[in-house]
Amino acid sequence: SAVISQKPSRDICQRGTSLTIQCQVDSQVTMMFWYRQQPGQSLTLIATANQGSEATYESGFVIDKFPISRPNLTFSTLTVSNMSPEDSSIYLCSATTGLPDTQYFGPGTRLTVL
Amino acid sequence: AQKVTQAQTEISVVEKEDVTLDCVYETRDTTYYLFWYKQPPSGELVFLIRRNSFDEQNEISGRYSWNFQKSTSSFNFTITASQVVDSAVYFCALTSNNAGNMLTFGGGTRLMVKP
């Protein structure tokens, strides 16, 4: 199983600023994903982070708001841009070597926007 | 499109009671994978089990057991002799090769185990 770390674990940010979240996996993985979990809700997929190319975004999420990088097979970043209070959520990254492998999750980044 | 339904949004039990969390899924794919994850108050998502669509054997791991029934498209999770440490939100999830390995999550069931 992959061990995934995220930084920061939590942050409180001001409206209009941006925050970059880092996700590090302890082994090479094929696929990395970013999810958002709004308070009291389930997880919603933001995008698939593709190594060496642009991320694939789900409906309702755009690159200008959530730019993603994946420079290699073990690392990815998600930036939450021009934040508003509605962006207050837990952001989780996950990784897998592909089916039938399991998708493992990082500990999450708890973001509060004031 | 794939869908996962966890009809129980919240369950409250007293310690040592048995509790079953329901999960019903929908998919058109013949090969798919089902998962259960636990999310304690700290927020991380902890993997509990994966079940392949072609393996209908039920599984037991300590106090945890899972009942996979393709005929009813259900993948239910039972905790025997619940403990306070079992208090968490539990998510059932589904994916398949045709879904690009992306997980579809249910809404989650919040389990509260009282001493």
Binary contact (A96, B101; C-beta < 8 A): yes
Residue A52 has pLDDT above 90, yes or no: no
Mean pLDDT of chain A: 94
Cβ atoms of residues B80 and B63 within 8 Å: yes
DSSP letter string, chain A:
---EEEE-SEEEE-TT--EEEEEEESS--SEEEEEEE-TT---EEEEEE-TTS--EEPTT--TTTS-EE--SSSEEEEEE-S--GGG-EEEEEEEESSTTSPPEE---EEEEE-
How many angstroms away from the CA of A107 is the closest CA of chain B? 4
Q: For position A97, what pLDDT does the model report? A: 83
Q: For position A2, what pLDDT does the model report? A: 84
Q: For position A1, what pLDDT does the model report? A: 77
pLDDT range class, residue A53, cuts 50, 70, 90: confident
Cβ atoms of residues B20 and B76 within 8 Å: yes
Q: For position A50, what pLDDT does the model report? A: 87
The first and second tokens of residue A39, run together, are: 């308070």
Ramachandran bin of B23, using left for φ above 0, alpha for ψ from -120 to 50, beta for the remaining angles: beta
Q: How many A-B residue pairs are in contact by the CB < 8 A criterion?
A: 54
Question: What number is the average pLDDT over the span A63-73?
Answer: 95
Query: What CA–CA distance (Å, rounded) separates B44 from A4?
Result: 11
Residues above pLDDT 90, as percent of chain A: 84
Question: What number is the average pLDDT over the span A48-71?
Answer: 93
Whose tokens are 């999830």? That residue is: B93
> How confident is the model over B18-75, as pLDDT tens digits?
999 999 999 999 999 999 999 999 889 999 999 999 888 888 889 999 999 999 999 9
Residue A43 has pLDDT above 80, yes or no: yes
Sign of CA dihedral A67, A98, B88, B69: positive
Query: What CA–CA distance (Å, rounded) separates B70 from B64?
Result: 20
Query: What CA–CA distance (Å, rounded) separates A83 from A59?
Result: 19
Question: What number is the average pLDDT over the span B86-95?
Answer: 97
Return the number of other C-beta atoms located less than 10 Å from residue A41's C-beta.
13
Residue A99 has pLDDT above 80, yes or no: no
Query: What CA–CA distance (Å, rounded) separates B56 from B44?
Result: 28
Query: What CA–CA distance (Å, rounded) separates A23 from A95?
Result: 10
pLDDT range class, residue B99, cuts 50, 70, 90: confident
A8 touches chain B (CB under 8 A): no
Query: What CA–CA distance (Å, rounded) separates B26 from B2?
Result: 5
User: Which residue type, as a one-letter code, is found at position A107?
Assistant: P
Binary contact (B96, A99; C-beta < 8 A): yes
Q: Is B64 helix (H, G, I), strand (E, B) or coil?
A: strand
The first and second tokens of residue A57, run together, are: 């975004």
Q: For position B23, what pLDDT does the model report? A: 98
Cβ atoms of residues B84 and B115 within 8 Å: yes
| B-contacting residues in A 11-50 (Cβ below 8 Å) | 31, 33, 41-43, 45, 48
